[in-house]
Structure 1
Amino acid sequence: MVHYKSAEEIELIRESSLLVSKTLAEVAKHIKPGVTSLELDRIAEQFIRDNGATPAFKGYEGFPASLCISVNEVVVHGIPTKQALVEGDIISVDCGVLKNKFYGDSAYTFAVGEIAPEVQQLLTITKECLAKAVEVAVVGMRLGDIGFAVQEHAEKQGYGVVRELVGHGVGRHLHEDPQVPNYGKRGTGMKLTEGLVIAIEPMINMGTARVKQSNDGWTVFTQDRKPSAHFEHTIAVAKGKADVLSTFSVIEEVLKN
């Protein structure tokens, strides 16, 4: 059941999504070799609560933390730990908040210190996959066009596109219909219309597309243990151009310094 949003509801989702972006920017200030993902999680939770919101992930189906922090070969749903990050790691930081009864959701993959050029290329292409998907998330296109945009760009570079995990609708619930796969055929699937709010989140692997789930019931990692990258925006479908409700600009402002 797809819940279409009014203009007022989209503004509330924008407020939540921008708080997610600001939280990721706050976390970005502290990402360096030696810091633990548990410490980053603590910083995020404090920041979210100080801004009058609730961490969306904490307690969600039993998830123990405010952030999903996925290091290197972990694709998504990594649980923060006391293990220190080291130079050359990459970490996907996925964050959600609940504010004024509406959710926001976004993710960004960060380099820890200097990373290998081929890993940097994976991050660049994954972020480009998201941009290409957002470009086609407009009135009159279809869900398959979004998946196709991601899949074509990633596979052209020889990367694996994760199929088991998908983007999703966002609103009064963290995960709503429709599911938004990162693969698909042009011109297929549900028609995109105004009022549809979705999280688009390419998960792209350096090697095989195949993934496994850890015994903890959450952590998903690449089967060949090669790195994986993940970027996510919450967007509202609109005419001509998608309305991106989250932003990377505040995060990248921090990364420039």
Structure 2
Amino acid sequence: MLSKTIRFCFARTQANFSKFSKTIIPDYFKTEPIIEGQYQVTPTLSVPQNIKRPDYVDNPNPIFGIYHGNPVVHNQDIIRRLKIAGNLAARTLAHLASHVKEGITTDELDKICHKFIIDNNAYPTALGFMHFPKSVCTSVNEVVCHGIPNTRPLKNGDYINLDVTLYIEGVHGDNSLMVPVGDVHPEIMKLIQTTQKALYESIKVCKPGTPFRKIGEVCESIAHENGFSVCELFTGHGVGELLHMAPAVFHEKKTRSENPYVMQPGMVFTIEPIFTMRRGRYQMWSDQMTVVSPYNPSAQWEHTILITEQGHEVITLRDGEKIE
């Protein structure tokens, strides 16, 4: 989710949006614009009292400084629990994605996700995180990330990111994917597939001794080779008993001084690149969560990675999914 620093950057650039002309909308961008406030956000769903909640549910203010310091090397007990959380997050995401179709609303998808998570005695991490009102992030079309589910029905040609996070066994599981709805423009399908390729190729370099900055080198190279841009506002992150931990995992190139850390066995972190069709501006809605890049399609994929003695393990790998 968003830090105060990122919110400040959005505030500084907000005034420039009136200068963006709709006359330069590319031919491939034919989806209905996502308009702030056009659709209703329904009341928050409840969670049974017997399900353990993360600390921020009672104190939803942002935690600052969580990316600073050295990456955490988890002990075997926490790794065991992270694998449980990652597996359930993967199963939840696959279950939710299977319900995406033309006509369903993102609010209905939220209800499906919420029920699956609590039926498995877990807590939906998104719910209450920095006041987020729903159990899953649903980012449609030019919504870059952190879209709040509402009553807008999905339409032919839409494309949606589902970002599922949950809390069980005292740790978090975190993953996301893209789902096209009906007939999606070939250029947007290329964007979706290229972003997934960047995730997979960056996973392949993960092993003990690899500098974290290698992930950014891989992602940025793949984006630029295909004519796309990397959104530099958002990073991957360490995962454990907190949702966001050190290190920040950049998806663009960084120098050694900017990103000095090296992967070690026991580290667990997300890789979650966001690619956009072209370099663009970003806008945050008044809900202080939804981030959009108007008339600039985007795509995001995410997995959680454990560094092992031999290499890596994708602890959010879905049944039948192969990193190729």
Give the alignment's TM-score, normalised by structure 2: 0.74
Residue by residue over 1:219-252, the C-alpha shift from the partner in whole angstroms, topping out at 9 and shown as x without a partner, is 1112x42211010000112345321100133589
Pick from 278, 290, 310 the counterpart of residue 207 of structure 1.
Answer: 278
Equivalent pair of 2:97/2:162 in contact (CA under 8 Å): no
Larger-gyration structure (1/2): 2
The count of aligned residue pairs is: 251
Higher strand share: 1
Provide the C-alpha distance between the structure 2 equivalents of 1:179 and 1:210, rounded to a whole number of angstroms.
Answer: 22
RMSD: 1.6
Equivalent pair of 1:162/1:211 in contact (CA under 8 Å): no
Q: Is 1:170 aligned with 2:236?
A: no
Provide the C-alpha distance between the structure 1 equivalents of 2:234 and 2:241, rounded to a whole number of angstroms.
Answer: 21
Q: Is 1:114 aligned with 2:183?
A: yes
Q: Determine the structure 1 residue equivalent to 2:207.
A: 138
Instruction: Note the C-alpha offset of 1:209.
Output: 4.7
Equivalent pair of 1:142/1:189 in contact (CA under 8 Å): yes
Pick from 247, 250, 270 the counterpart of residue 181 of structure 1.
Answer: 250
239-248 or 58-67: bigger deviation:
239-248
Q: Determine the structure 2 residue equivalent to 1:152.
A: 221
Equivalent pair of 1:24/1:251 in contact (CA under 8 Å): no
Closer/same/farther in 2, CA of residues 67 and 110 from structure 1, 3 Å limit: same
Equivalent pair of 1:27/1:44 in contact (CA under 8 Å): yes
Q: Is 1:3 aligned with 2:69?
A: no
Q: Determine the structure 1 residue equivalent to 2:112.
A: 43
Provide the C-alpha distance between the structure 2 equivalents of 1:130 and 1:248, rounded to a whole number of angstroms.
Answer: 14
Secondary structure of 2:311's aligned partner = coil
Q: Determine the structure 2 residue equivalent to 1:230.
A: 300
Equivalent pair of 2:237/2:245 in contact (CA under 8 Å): yes
Instruction: Note the C-alpha offset of 1:213.
Output: 1.5
Equivalent pair of 1:88/1:115 in contact (CA under 8 Å): yes
Secondary structure of 1:249's aligned partner = coil
Provide the C-alpha distance between the structure 2 equivalents of 1:244 and 1:27, rounded to a whole number of angstroms.
Answer: 20
Residue by residue over 1:2-60, the C-alpha shift from the partner in whole angstroms, topping out at 9 and shown as x without a partner, is 32112332121111111111111111221111100000000001000001110011000
129-138 or 89-98: bigger deviation:
129-138
Give the alignment's TM-score, normalised by structure 1: 0.93
Q: Is 1:52 aligned with 2:148?
A: no
Q: Determine the structure 1 residue equivalent to 2:261.
A: 190
Instruction: Note the C-alpha offset of 1:211.
Output: 2.1
The runs of 5 or more residues in structure 1 that have no matched partner are 253-257
What percentage of aligned pairs have identical amino acids? 33
Provide the C-alpha distance between the structure 2 equivalents of 1:116 and 1:134, rounded to a whole number of angstroms.
Answer: 28
Q: Is 1:65 aligned with 2:134?
A: yes
Instruction: Note the C-alpha offset of 1:186.
Output: 7.2
Equivalent pair of 2:280/2:296 in contact (CA under 8 Å): no
Closer/same/farther in 2, CA of residues 189 and 225 from structure 1, 3 Å limit: farther
The runs of 5 or more residues in structure 2 that have no matched partner are 1-68
